[in-house]
Amino acid sequence: MSVTKAATLADDLVRLFEAQIEAGILTPGDRYPTERQITEEFLVSRTVVREAFARLAARGLLESRRGAGAFVGNAAHYRAFQVTPEEVEAIEDVLKLLEMRMGFESEMAELAAERRSEAHLAEMRDALAAMDRSEDANGSVLADAAFHAAIARATGNDYFERFTTFLGVRLIPSWKLYLQADDPETHRGYARTINRDHEAIYSAIEDGDGSRARRAAREHMERSLERYRGLSKRS
């Protein structure tokens, strides 16, 4: 096995365990799988496993205990933040999430307009098309998340991408709170409403107009807040 190949495989393992920590699958104090378990499951050498463990340890995500094995380090606490489905079932919680997104989405859209590539624009168009085709809440949420993830990638700042990917569909307010009916036409109508905002953001990003992209993203968030505040007043 070449050094380059081993390093790449170690990178893959590090990303895997980081993702499990971020998702809360592995929490501080949990034991990592043994070297043998990892080599058998992922068909890699012990050298690769040890390299991955060394990198995790350097990031404070792994602590070795003599005779006991490798454990998730206490420094991983900050990685374990998450927004669970249960935390966004109430309208008040959705409003908090939208308020948090206001500045984040505005800044992200402006940077995307300044840095986007044709490949990024193609990703956004695909997400817009998926939203247009959507006839149910789950499909619309996935398309919605894909659109914002494409904007995050277009910033060229991997922290935006990582944070957006980390929150995933939790970044999108619960459509089920807003939509009481389950019929496809109702979902299509709501999806078109959301997509009009998305198209305004996309147009500004495509034109490379950062200021307009920022305004469009903020207006999108403000309209979402208005819709959910209206629900809150009726409940």
For 100, the 3-state DSSP assignment is: helix
3-class state of residue 70 by DSSP: strand
Contact, 74 vs 80, CB < 8 A? no
Taking the C-alpha atoms of residue 13 and residue 26, their distance in angstroms, rounded to an integer, is 14
Structural domains of the chain in order of their starting residue, each with its CATH number: 3-80 (1.10.10.10), 85-234 (1.20.120.530)
CA distances from 111 to 153, 188, 212, 218 (A): 10, 30, 11, 14
Tens digits of per-residue pLDDT, 172-229?
655 555 555 556 777 777 788 889 999 999 999 999 999 999 999 999 999 988 888 8
Cα separations in angstroms, 115 against 92, 103, 154: 35, 18, 6
pLDDT digit string (tens) for 81-115? 555 555 556 777 778 888 888 999 999 999 999 99
Q: What percent of the chain has pLDDT over 90?
A: 47
* Entry pTM: 0.62
Q: CA–CA separation, 26 vs 161, rounded Å?
A: 22
* Residue 24: partners with Cβ closer than 8 Å, 6 or more residues away: 80, 82
pLDDT of amino acid 166: 67
Q: For all residues of the chain together, what is the average pLDDT?
A: 84
